[in-house]
């Protein structure tokens, strides 16, 4: 067991500190589009949406991204949905043990009037297969609204979470973003929800662990597909 010094910036930004958005607003006649990797607001917090299930119309981000109320909006303040449930035991101390269980997810029930897809901003399909797991040394990518897509390798796999290195980057606002396997051809495979930085290593909670928790908290009919 190792202990990592925590460099918690929670990767969620406040609205006042956030610069210009990455994507232009949709025409007013079009429904708001909800997709993985988009910017979301909850009260004064800015985060990244991790995964969107087009069947159940439930979206996912980090639990520590939640605001004081249930409403979730896009960067243009259009209401896209409301918080359904969350877990967040992200430590606030100076160290975290590698065998410590970390849970950090939020489920958002999307409004009926929004359009949804599960395509990343670059157009690649993001698929959910909760049986997929990661191994140390495996190639992995992360998308955040501040840093965009950055890729590297899995550093270590711990208790419900894993760390990354060799190119994966993050800044405030990237919390909740999708972490995925990105083969040269074909869709990306969701494997994590970005959490924070532990020591020098960006970290994500396991998508497999998060979907197990969703199943427990919301019931089997809402399991991400």
Higher pLDDT, 12 or 68: 68
Domain, as residue range, for 130 = 3-222
Q: What is the dihedral of CA 122, 123, 129, 130, to 10 degrees?
A: 40
How many CA atoms lie less than 13 Å away from 147 in the CB half-sphere?
A: 25
| Structure tokens given for 163 | 């760390």
Tokens of 4: 């990592």
**pLDDT tier for residue 12 given thresholds of 50, 70 and 90:** low
CA gap 160, 131 in Å, rounded: 13
CATH code where residue 63 lies: 2.40.10.120
Instruction: Evaluate if residue 212 carries a pLDDT over 90.
Output: yes
pLDDT at 170 over 80: yes
Of the chain, the percentage scoring pLDDT greater than 90 comes to 70
- Residue 220: predicted pLDDT: 57
pLDDT at site 9: 43
By percentage, how much of the chain surpasses pLDDT 70?
Answer: 84
Give 60 or 92, the one with higher predicted confidence.
60
Q: Count the neighbouring beta carbons within 10 Å of the beta carbon of residue 165.
A: 15
How confident is the prediction for the chain on average, in pLDDT? 86
**CA-based nearest residue to 141, from 158, 124, 154:** 154
- For residue 150, report the phi and psi dihedrals to the nearest 5 degrees: -130, 145
Compute the distance between CA of residue 153 and CA of residue 139 in angstroms, rounded to an integer. 4
The vertex-125 CA angle with 56 and 57, nearest 5°, equals: 15
Whole-number pLDDT of residue 185: 79
> Which of 38-47, 59-68, 98-107, 212-221 has the least mean pLDDT?
212-221
Among 12-16, 46-50, 72-76, 151-155, the range scoring the smallest mean pLDDT is 12-16
**Closest to 105 in 3D by CA, of 178, 46, 33:** 178
Nearest residue to 111 (alpha-carbon basis) of 52, 166, 45, 158: 52
Q: How many domains does the chain have?
A: 1
How would you classify the pairing of strands 148-157 and 58-61?
unpaired
pLDDT at residue 184 tops 70 = yes
């Amino acid at each position: 067991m190792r202990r990592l010094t925590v460099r918690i910036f929670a990767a969620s930004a406040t609205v006042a500190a956030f610069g210009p958005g990455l994507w232009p607003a949709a025409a007013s006649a079009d429904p708001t589009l909800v997709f993985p990797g988009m910017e979301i607001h909850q009260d004064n917090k800015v985060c990244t949406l991790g995964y969107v299930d087009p069947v159940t119309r439930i979206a996912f981000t980090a639990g520590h991204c939640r605001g004081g109320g249930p409403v979730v909006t896009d960067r243009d303040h259009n209401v896209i949905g409301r918080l359904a449930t969350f877990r967040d035991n992200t430590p606030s101390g100076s160290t975290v043990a590698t065998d410590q269980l970390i849970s950090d997810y939020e489920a958002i029930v999307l409004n009926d009037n929004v359009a949804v897809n599960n395509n990343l901003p670059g157009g690649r399909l993001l698929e959910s297969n909760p049986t997929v797991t990661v191994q140390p040394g495996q190639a992995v990518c992360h998308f955040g609204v501040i840093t965009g897509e950055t890729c590297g390798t899995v550093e270590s796999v711990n208790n419900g979470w894993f760390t990354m290195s060799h190119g994966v980057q993050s800044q405030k606002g990237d919390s909740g973003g999708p972490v995925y396997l990105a083969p040269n051809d074909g869709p990306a495979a969701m494997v994590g929800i970005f959490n924070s930085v532990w020591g020098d290593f960006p970290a994500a909670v396991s998508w497999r662990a998060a979907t197990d928790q969703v199943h427990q908290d919301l019931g089997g009919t809402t399991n991400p597909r």
